[in-house]
Protein backbone atom coordinates (compact mmCIF):
# COMPACT_ATOMS: atom_id res chain seq x y z
CA UNK A 1 0.00 0.00 0.00
CA UNK A 2 1.26 3.44 -0.83
CA UNK A 3 1.88 5.43 2.39
CA UNK A 4 0.37 8.61 0.97
CA UNK A 5 -2.80 6.80 -0.15
CA UNK A 6 -3.13 5.21 3.28
CA UNK A 7 -2.77 8.59 4.96
CA UNK A 8 -5.37 10.19 2.72
CA UNK A 9 -7.77 7.33 3.40
CA UNK A 10 -7.37 7.67 7.15
CA UNK A 11 -7.69 11.46 6.98
CA UNK A 12 -10.90 11.35 4.96
CA UNK A 13 -12.28 8.70 7.30
CA UNK A 14 -11.43 10.80 10.37
CA UNK A 15 -13.08 13.86 8.82
CA UNK A 16 -16.22 11.81 8.16
CA UNK A 17 -16.49 10.54 11.72
CA UNK A 18 -15.78 14.05 13.03
CA UNK A 19 -18.56 15.49 10.85
CA UNK A 20 -20.91 12.79 12.16
CA UNK A 21 -20.06 13.59 15.78
CA UNK A 22 -20.78 17.26 15.05
CA UNK A 23 -24.22 16.39 13.66
CA UNK A 24 -23.36 17.03 10.01
CA UNK A 25 -25.01 13.87 8.70
CA UNK A 26 -24.81 14.82 5.01
CA UNK A 27 -21.16 15.86 5.25
CA UNK A 28 -20.37 12.69 7.17
CA UNK A 29 -22.11 10.57 4.53
CA UNK A 30 -20.16 12.19 1.70
CA UNK A 31 -16.82 11.83 3.47
CA UNK A 32 -17.48 8.24 4.55
CA UNK A 33 -18.49 7.38 0.97
CA UNK A 34 -15.15 8.82 -0.20
CA UNK A 35 -13.35 6.86 2.50
CA UNK A 36 -15.17 3.71 1.44
CA UNK A 37 -14.05 4.18 -2.17
CA UNK A 38 -10.44 4.61 -1.04
CA UNK A 39 -10.58 1.46 1.11
CA UNK A 40 -12.03 -0.51 -1.82
CA UNK A 41 -9.47 0.93 -4.22
CA UNK A 42 -6.69 -0.28 -1.95
CA UNK A 43 -8.31 -3.70 -1.40
CA UNK A 44 -8.93 -3.15 2.32
CA UNK A 45 -12.18 -5.08 2.59
CA UNK A 46 -12.63 -5.24 6.37
CA UNK A 47 -12.30 -1.46 6.83
CA UNK A 48 -14.61 -1.03 3.82
CA UNK A 49 -17.13 -3.18 5.68
CA UNK A 50 -16.74 -0.91 8.68
CA UNK A 51 -17.39 2.22 6.61
CA UNK A 52 -20.49 0.55 5.19
CA UNK A 53 -21.78 -0.13 8.69
CA UNK A 54 -21.22 3.54 9.57
CA UNK A 55 -23.12 4.53 6.42
CA UNK A 56 -25.90 2.13 7.40
CA UNK A 57 -26.17 3.71 10.81
CA UNK A 58 -26.24 7.19 9.26
CA UNK A 59 -29.03 6.07 6.93
CA UNK A 60 -31.01 4.73 9.90
CA UNK A 61 -30.52 8.02 11.76
CA UNK A 62 -31.77 9.84 8.66
CA UNK A 63 -34.93 7.71 8.53
CA UNK A 64 -33.97 5.67 5.46
CA UNK A 65 -34.08 2.00 6.47
CA UNK A 66 -33.97 0.78 2.86
CA UNK A 67 -30.65 2.54 2.27
CA UNK A 68 -29.41 1.30 5.65
CA UNK A 69 -30.28 -2.27 4.74
CA UNK A 70 -28.43 -1.96 1.42
CA UNK A 71 -25.33 -0.61 3.19
CA UNK A 72 -25.39 -3.42 5.75
CA UNK A 73 -25.87 -6.03 3.01
CA UNK A 74 -22.80 -4.65 1.23
CA UNK A 75 -20.88 -4.66 4.51
CA UNK A 76 -21.62 -8.38 4.93
CA UNK A 77 -20.07 -8.96 1.50
CA UNK A 78 -16.95 -6.91 2.26
CA UNK A 79 -16.44 -8.54 5.65
CA UNK A 80 -16.84 -11.97 4.03
CA UNK A 81 -14.19 -11.16 1.41
CA UNK A 82 -11.86 -10.09 4.23
CA UNK A 83 -12.60 -13.23 6.26
CA UNK A 84 -13.89 -11.12 9.15
CA UNK A 85 -16.43 -13.46 10.72
CA UNK A 86 -17.32 -11.06 13.53
CA UNK A 87 -18.10 -8.34 10.99
CA UNK A 88 -20.25 -10.74 8.96
CA UNK A 89 -22.22 -11.74 12.04
CA UNK A 90 -22.69 -8.18 13.32
CA UNK A 91 -23.82 -6.81 9.97
CA UNK A 92 -26.10 -9.78 9.39
CA UNK A 93 -27.82 -9.03 12.70
CA UNK A 94 -28.46 -5.50 11.40
CA UNK A 95 -29.74 -6.73 8.01
CA UNK A 96 -32.15 -9.11 9.73
CA UNK A 97 -33.27 -6.48 12.26
CA UNK A 98 -34.04 -3.96 9.51
CA UNK A 99 -35.75 -6.57 7.33
CA UNK A 100 -37.95 -7.54 10.27
CA UNK A 101 -38.78 -3.88 11.00
CA UNK A 102 -39.74 -3.48 7.33
CA UNK A 103 -42.07 -6.47 7.60
CA UNK A 104 -39.85 -8.68 5.43
CA UNK A 105 -39.98 -11.60 7.84
CA UNK A 106 -38.78 -14.19 5.32
CA UNK A 107 -35.64 -12.17 4.53
CA UNK A 108 -34.99 -11.76 8.25
CA UNK A 109 -35.31 -15.50 8.79
CA UNK A 110 -33.00 -16.21 5.82
CA UNK A 111 -30.40 -13.82 7.21
CA UNK A 112 -30.50 -15.33 10.67
CA UNK A 113 -30.56 -18.88 9.34
CA UNK A 114 -27.60 -18.32 7.02
CA UNK A 115 -25.24 -17.42 9.84
CA UNK A 116 -26.77 -19.09 12.90
CA UNK A 117 -24.54 -22.18 12.54
CA UNK A 118 -21.48 -19.90 12.47
CA UNK A 119 -22.36 -17.88 15.58
CA UNK A 120 -19.55 -18.84 17.90
CA UNK A 121 -19.86 -16.42 20.77
CA UNK A 122 -22.78 -16.53 23.17
CA UNK A 123 -23.46 -12.83 22.48
CA UNK A 124 -24.03 -13.46 18.77
CA UNK A 125 -26.07 -16.58 19.41
CA UNK A 126 -28.45 -14.78 21.78
CA UNK A 127 -29.10 -12.04 19.20
CA UNK A 128 -29.73 -14.54 16.44
CA UNK A 129 -32.08 -16.65 18.55
CA UNK A 130 -33.95 -13.56 19.75
CA UNK A 131 -34.29 -12.39 16.15
CA UNK A 132 -35.57 -15.75 14.97
CA UNK A 133 -38.07 -15.73 17.84
CA UNK A 134 -39.24 -12.23 16.90
CA UNK A 135 -39.61 -13.24 13.25
CA UNK A 136 -41.58 -16.33 14.20
CA UNK A 137 -43.84 -14.23 16.43
CA UNK A 138 -44.37 -11.75 13.57
CA UNK A 139 -45.72 -14.56 11.42
CA UNK A 140 -48.15 -15.65 14.12
CA UNK A 141 -46.15 -18.70 15.13
CA UNK A 142 -46.12 -17.88 18.83
CA UNK A 143 -45.38 -21.44 19.92
CA UNK A 144 -42.28 -21.58 17.73
CA UNK A 145 -41.30 -18.10 18.88
CA UNK A 146 -41.45 -19.17 22.51
CA UNK A 147 -39.28 -22.20 21.81
Domain count, the chain: 1
* Nearest to 76, CA basis, from 98, 96, 92: 92
* pLDDT score, position 136: 74
Per-residue pLDDT at 4 exceeds 60: no
Q: Is 22 helix (H, G, I), strand (E, B) or coil?
A: coil
Residue 2 CA neighbour count, 13 Å, CB half: 8
For residues 15 and 86, which has the higher predicted lDDT (pLDDT)?
86
CA–CA distance, 96 with 135 (Å, rounded to integer)? 9
Question: What is the three-class DSSP state of 1?
Answer: coil
Distance CA 106, CA 46 (A): 28
Query: Per-residue confidence at 25, pLDDT binned at 50, 70, 90?
Result: confident
Show the domain range for 136: 3-146
Tell me what pLDDT residue 17 has.
Answer: 79
The pLDDT of 107-127, averaged and rounded, is: 76
Q: Positive or negative CA dihedral for 89, 93, 94, 98? A: positive
Instruction: Determine if residue 28 is left, alpha or beta; phi over 0 gives left, psi from -120 to 50 gives alpha, anything else beta.
Output: alpha
- pTM over 0.85, yes/no: no
The angle formed by the CA atoms of residues 72, 73 and 75, to the nearest 5 degrees, is: 60
CATH number at residue 127: 1.25.40.10
Mean pLDDT (the chain) is 84
**pLDDT at residue 73, as a whole number:** 97
Amino acid sequence: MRPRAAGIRVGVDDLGTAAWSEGDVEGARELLEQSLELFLELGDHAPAGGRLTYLGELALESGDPSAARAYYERSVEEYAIAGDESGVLGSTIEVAFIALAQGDVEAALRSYGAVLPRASEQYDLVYFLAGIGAAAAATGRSREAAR
